Amino acid sequence: MSMTGTIAKIGVEGGVWALVTDDGTQVELIDPPAALKKNGLRAKIEADTSNPVDVSIGMVGRAIRVRSFILLD
């Protein structure tokens, strides 16, 4: 499953990294690669569906692990 959007740090006390998709959906990124940990980046992300996330502490929406990504301009 792939999705495109903007990377954002959401929450207080450390927060979580998320992708805010182009339709406004927030998707928590579990252990994202260092290259994705920057507010405002545009990216296309491929989710790792072989290792689903059941529960997370972020509570910002669905949570995924990143299989691969492409940074966009």
From the CA atom positions of the chain, what is the Rg in Å? 11
CA–CA distance, 29 with 66 (Å, rounded to integer): 7
Angle at 17 (CA atoms; ends 70, 56), nearest 5 degrees:
120
Whether pLDDT at 12 is above 70: no
Confidence of residue 14 (pLDDT cuts 50, 70, 90): confident
The sign of the CA dihedral 20, 22, 24, 27 is negative
Per residue in 36-65, pLDDT tens? 999 999 999 999 988 777 767 777 888 899
What is this structure's pTM?
0.88
Token code pair at residue 56: 């997370």
Structural domain containing residue 36: 2-72
The total number of structural domains in the chain stands at 1
Confidence of residue 20 (pLDDT cuts 50, 70, 90): very high
CATH number, residue 49: 2.40.50.500
